Structure 1
Amino acid sequence: MSEAGAIWIRTKRLSFRMPDIDDFDAYARIMASPRSAGMGGPFDLRAAWGMFCHDVALWQLFGHGAMMIDLSETGQCIGQVGINHGPLFQEKELGWFVFDGFEGRGYATEAASALRDWAFKTLKLSSLVRYIAPDNSASVAVAERLGARLDPAAPRADPADLVYRHLSS
C-alpha cells in the first residue's frame, strides 16, 4: 500500500486519497442530513464517527476502503467513494456520495467508475454490488450509467434494498 493520504487514483477532473481527520466534519454533516436516509440515517455524531472509522479501518483489514474525492483543479473535497466489506455487508460493495452542491455533475459516476476499475484490476474481483434504497433514484441512475444490472437474487441485509451488480469485464 502507499503512504496514508497518498493519491492512488486520478481521473481527468478528480483525484482520490485516503480519508484524514480533517474530512470528518463534512462527513458527519452529510451523515446527519436527510441525504443519508438510504444508508439508514440520519446518524448522530457517535454513529457517524463509527462509520468514518470503519471506512478508514477497511484499508488495514482488507486492502481497500474509502477514498475522499477531491477536485483535481482546486483540491476541494467533494465526497467519498469506497469499497465496503466486513460483517455488515453480504458482498464487497462499491459505494459513493457527493457533498451538497456537487450533485448532477457526473462526479459520482466518474469516481465510482475509477474505483471499480481499480478494484477489478488490483484486487482481482469478479464483481461488486451496490445496495440501494428503492427511493434513491440518483444512486440507481449512477449504477445504471456504470453498467451495473439489478440482481434480484443477490443476498442483502435489508430485504427492501435493490442490489445492482457490477461485473468485471
Structure 2
Amino acid sequence: MFESGAIIIRTERLVLRMPGIDDFAAYARLMASPRSVGMGGPFDERMAWGMFCHDIALWQLFGHGALMIDLAETGECVGQVGINHGPLFPEKELGWFVYESRQGRGYATEAALALRDWAFATLGLPSLVSYIAPGNTASIAVAERLGARLDLTAPRPDPADLVYRHFDS
C-alpha cells in the first residue's frame, strides 16, 4: 500500500518525519518509564522494540503509521505522533507523545493536528479516534483542543480508556 519514499509534514514549528534507528533509544526510555502506563507500560526493551517496529510497519501495511516530531529550528526530536491500526486497535487511532522535557509547549497539538489533517485529506477517513487513559489530563486537553469529542459507545482496546472521536473539519 505504501510506496517507497519519505513522508514529511511541516508545520510552523515542526517537521514530522519517518522514524529511524537513531530514534529508538529515546523511544525505549519513554516506554520503560512510568509515563507509558497509559499505553499499557512500562515496557522492557524487547517490547519497546516490537512497538517501534509496529509503528514503522504500519506504513507498509496500511499507508499510515508513526512520524517523529522534530523542532524545525534545531532538528531536535521531541516526540512522536501516529495513526495506529491493526489487530490491537478497533479503529484507526490518532496518538501522540512528547518527551517529558518538551511537554507543555503545544507540540503534541500542533503535530496531531497536522497528521490528522493529512490523514483526512490523503486517506479519506470518515473519522479517527484517540484512546486515552482517564487520568491523562494532558492528552485529554490535546484531544479537546483538536475538536475531538468523547464517544462513549466506541469500541476500545482497554475498557477503561476514554475514546475521543475526531471528524474531518
| Letter aligned with residue 167 of structure 2 | L
Matches within 5 A, 1:53-92: 53-92=53-92
Indicate the SS of the match to 2:102: coil
Distance 1:18 1:121 in 2: 19
Residues 17 and 67, structure 1, Cα contact 8 Å, conserved in 2 = yes
Residue by residue over 1:87-120, the C-alpha shift from the partner in whole angstroms, topping out at 9 and shown as x without a partner, is: 0000000000001211000000000000000000
Q: RMSD of aligned C-alpha atoms?
A: 1.0
The alpha carbon displacement at 1:168 in A equals 1.1
1:103 aligned residue? 103
**Correspondence 1:31 to 2:31:** yes
Moved over 6 A (4+): none
CA distance in 1, matches of 2:153, 2:103: 30
Calculate the TM-score normalised by the size of structure 1. 0.97
Answering whether residue 41 of structure 2 is matched by residue 41 of structure 1, we say yes
Amino acid at match of 1:33: S
The separation in 2 between residues aligned to 1:3 and 1:69, in whole angstroms, is 20
List runs of 5+ in structure 1 lacking aligned partners.
none
> Matched residues in 2 for 1:33 and 1:111: separation?
22
How far apart, in 2, do the equivalents of 1:141 and 1:41 lie?
21
TM-score by length of 2: 0.97
- Mapped to 2, the partners of 1:27 and 1:165 lie a distance apart of 26
- The residue type equivalent to 1:34 in the other structure is P
Equivalent residue number for residue 141 of structure 2: 141
CA deviation string 1:29-86 (max 9, x = no partner):
0000011000000100010000000000000000000000000000010000000000
Amino acid in structure 2 at the alignment position of 1:40 = G
Question: How many residues get paired?
Answer: 168
Q: CA deviation at 1:157?
A: 1.8
Residue in structure 2 matched with residue 94 of structure 1 by the alignment: 94
- CA drift at 1:2: 6.7
Structure 2 unmatched runs, 5+: none
